[in-house]
Amino acid sequence: VYSSTFELLIAVILSAQATDKGVNKATAKLFPVANTPETIAALGEDGLKPYIKTIGLFNSKGKNIIATCQRLIEQHQSQVPAQREALEALPGVDRVVTLLRPYKLVSREFRRSDTVVPLGATQLGGGHFGLIAGPCSVESREQTLEAARFVKASGATGVRGGAFKPRTSPYAFQGLGEEALQYLAEAREETGLPVVTELMDPRHLDLVLRYADVIQIGARNMQNFHLLAAVGEVGLPVLLKRGLSATIEELLMAAEYVVRAGNPQVILCERGIRTFETATRNTLDIAAVPIIKARSHLPVIVDPSHASGRVELIEPLSLAAIAAGADGLIIEAHPAPETALCDGAQSLNPAGFARTAARIAEMVAWVGKTLG
């Protein structure tokens, strides 16, 4: 299915009360509707069924969304409207939506309600706010444990820390690898905080899966399509960061790779983009938050550390992100930022994090969301 050339054109949303018979009727109707006779002959019904099953991943209550109508990209769109009414008239069909955007499964057209992603024992999205904090990189056991303790004490719902670091210079600290993952797991054990850590290479997937609760795909890998497909096949949530020069549509298309491969648990992250401005490390595209939330059902978080590069901007940008509708934040925090091996200038110290987290909690409550 991953390598097929089908594009989703419409989705048939079944009502929660739809019977198996209703579901079967609708799916049966889709095959002749959506495909040319040659396509059906080539694939056969059995060849198409797994694809429809993949779409069923969204099916939280049993039968909300089961069937999709597909077509070869070259196939002409004009065939669809006539079939639409016929499909809508079937028992158990709630509505038929036309998927106009190039991204399909991640679009609001496909799914109206917010996706809520588990974050350890808490949640992120749909009114649940996630506060992920911790060092840029895992540097030592003590540093990691201390960071997890102080961010937890100030209300964080997840701990971050890089074991594999994407560094501009090959001479810069590259991360401690598996040793770092072990420290993060120990930090989770002690604090209960779920671990968010970056995967850079599909060859490390099994290793990272043994320790992480959320797999981060960094800005530089947003369009590493094989990496996206790989994390699309696992059961852990994926935190997908926007590329340095990626448009919103490109970010959503990248998320589509993950969801299409079978993993619907994707969190999107606005982390600043490259502009002509030099006062900040990147430029926080705050408008991206409401824009993405209007176009997609996936939760959106903001990284004020990488967006600004400056510790004094973390709090104002965090508050702005919450006001703009963000579902969470990922913030760099370090027990002693002045000694950090990486990104100390954009990391809060324990006292600073405590102050900022308190303001964040107030703002989260003010917009009517729950922390965790």
Binding site for ligand PEP (CB under 6 A): 136, 162, 166, 198, 218-220, 241, 271, 303, 306
Q: Is the dihedral of CA 317, 322, 323, 325 positive or negative?
A: positive
- Of residues 130 and 162, the one with the C-beta less far from ligand PEP: 162
- CB of 239 vs ligand PEP, minimal distance in Å: 9
- Of residues 122 and 137, the one with the C-beta less far from Mn ion: 137
- The yes or no reply on residue 109 touching Mn ion (CB under 5 A) is no
- CB of 271 vs ligand PEP, minimal distance in Å: 4
- Of residues 128 and 271, the one with the C-beta less far from ligand PEP: 271
Which stretch, 122-130, 175-183, 222-230, 341-349, contacts Mn ion (CB under 5 A)? 341-349
- Of residues 111 and 334, the one with the C-beta less far from Mn ion: 334
- CB of 303 vs ligand PEP, minimal distance in Å: 6
Question: Contacts with Mn ion in 123-162 (CB under 5 A)?
Answer: 136
- CB of 119 vs ligand PEP, minimal distance in Å: 16
- CB of 196 vs Mn ion, minimal distance in Å: 12
241's contact among ligand PEP, Mn ion, none, with CB below 5 to 8 A by partner kind, is ligand PEP
Per CB under 5 A, the list member of 139, 270, 327, 343 interacting with Mn ion is 343
- Of residues 102 and 166, the one with the C-beta less far from ligand PEP: 166
Enumerate binding residues for Mn ion (CB under 5 A).
136, 343
